[in-house]
Amino acid sequence: MAAFVGSSVSVFVGDRSVLSCSRAGRRVSQSGRRAVATPVTMSFAAGVFEKSNPYADELKATARYISQRGRGILASDESNSTTGKRLAIVDLENEEVNRRDWRELLYTAPDLGNYISGAIMFEETLYQKAADGTPFVDILKDQGIFPGIKVDTGLTALPRTDAETATTGLDGLPDRCAAYYKQGARFAKWRAVLRIGDGCPSDAAIIENCHALARYAQISQAAGLVPIVEPEVLLDGDHDIDRTAYETEKVLSYTFRFLNEYDVCLDAILLKPNMINPGGDYPTPPTPQEVASYTLRTMLRGVPGAVPGIHFLSGGMSDAEATENLNLLNTIEGSERAPWSLTFSYGRALQIAVLKTWAGKPENKEKAQTLLTALAKANSQAQLGKFEGEHPSPEAKTRNWQPLRLV
């Protein structure tokens, strides 16, 4: 075994050098004896993804389709436990039939496919059928909406940190992804969560979560699923908007470093980050112009142009804020330089008002579906920078908070 001192560095996979660089210096054995300097050259295997992944063209086409202008993602991947908490808002029991009826209302909303290009589903929902026996997957496809699947299994405490978390779900993931693709899913989602606080996010939390995101993305692409990479920096706390911007930029830097380490094809992923807001307990609310400006700057600094779409999450924002901020993001000075689609992957901002309108009553279904389509249209217009007028949500200014829950 030998070490290189002041001379060269090599990275090996098996017996193949995948990255080597050389500088003037000498090679020294572990016994300390001088050895002959060995010249090394830099070498990269070009086009590996396109040549080795049979889904390469399909993955890129799917990512482009989902991130097309004027459309976004309906995030309906809440676990059964979280869905139960949502249903409790309208006094419905957390039963399979109620969960099915709720998702059926969402997926069968008339004209939803004009504004939504993908829908993230929970595992139960991916295999469910509507009351008339039609698989949800087929209902979505008939609307021009790609079915997606949440593949992580939740959050767990990260030992020896200040209440930081890691995301679970890598065990058995290759087999699950293969089964999801067979069922009709064409993209996947994995959520990592980083919190801002005294010493947080720690390097340990960032490295753990970004490594898991990259490994998940690699596995997903191998199975034909476009990975949504979601490194969420939470809005909990009293930090200012500059702190959020700094920590988000740092997390994005690590995220793409690990994606590159694992040879993930950036043309065939989608990114789902947070917008740049101050902490929810910060005393001075930001203006939409501040949110848009900080968010655009952070994305331009941290996201490679090869990524087709950035699909922002709506957590912590009101329905109106989610739409107005997205609209400004696509009209503010500098947005014309954005190489990716700046669009949405909203859950609460598309669902909570609809759920309350429905309230589990069949006679309210049509009204609730009309509201869902109106909300989707409003955010579609915002993606195009054309939203104006009154927001369609009856609770437009109410912020949608959800407590962090561990496995």
> Tens of pLDDT along 358-373?
999 999 999 999 999 9
Are the beta carbons of 148 and 188 closer than 8 angstroms? yes
Residue 34 is predicted with a pLDDT of 42
C-alpha angle 404-407-222 in degrees, rounded to nearest 5: 105
Picking from 125, 182, 193, 100, the residue whose alpha carbon sits closest to that of residue 155 is: 193
Are the beta carbons of 125 and 103 closer than 8 angstroms? yes
Helix, coil or strand: residue 150: strand
Residue 15 is predicted with a pLDDT of 39
* Annotated catalytic residue, options 104, 272, 321, 324: 272
Q: Taking all residues of the chain, what is their mean pLDDT, rounded to a whole number?
A: 89
* Spans in the chain with pLDDT lower than 70: 1-47, 400-407
Picking from 237, 82, 90, the residue whose alpha carbon sits closest to that of residue 150 is: 82
Residue 358 is predicted with a pLDDT of 98
Q: Which helix (H) or strand (E) holds 2?
A: strand 2-5
The length of the chain is 407
Residue 400 is predicted with a pLDDT of 67
Are the beta carbons of 77 and 126 closer than 8 angstroms? no
Q: Does residue 230 carry a catalytic annotation?
A: yes
Are the beta carbons of 29 and 35 closer than 8 angstroms? yes
Q: Does residue 250 carry a catalytic annotation?
A: no
Bridge-based pairing of strands 165-167 and 226-233 is unpaired
d(CA 48, CA 56): 10
* Annotated catalytic residue, options 78, 104, 123, 230: 230
Residue 48 is predicted with a pLDDT of 76
* Beta-bridge partners for 200: 197
Residue 11: CB atoms within 10 Å:
11
- For the chain, what is the radius of gyration of the CA atoms? 23
